[in-house]
Amino acid sequence: MRQIFLDTETTGLYHAQGHRIIEIAAVEMINRRPTNNHFHVYLNPQREIDPAAQEVHGISLEFLQDKPLFKAVAQDLIAFISGAELIIHNAPFDIGFLNSELGQIGLESINSFCDKITDTLKMAKDSRPGQRNNLDALCRQFGIDNSRRTLHGALLDAELLADVYMAMTRGQDSLMMDLGHYQPLMQLQTHQAQQIKIRVLKADEFELTLHQDYINTLVKSGAKQW
Write out the catalytic residue numbers. 152
Phi, psi of 28 (to 5 degrees): -95, 140
H helices of 48-119, in order, are 51-57, 61-64, 70-81, 91-104
Cα torsion for 72, 74, 79, 84, to the nearest 10°?
Answer: 150
Question: For residue 224, what is the DSSP state?
Answer: P
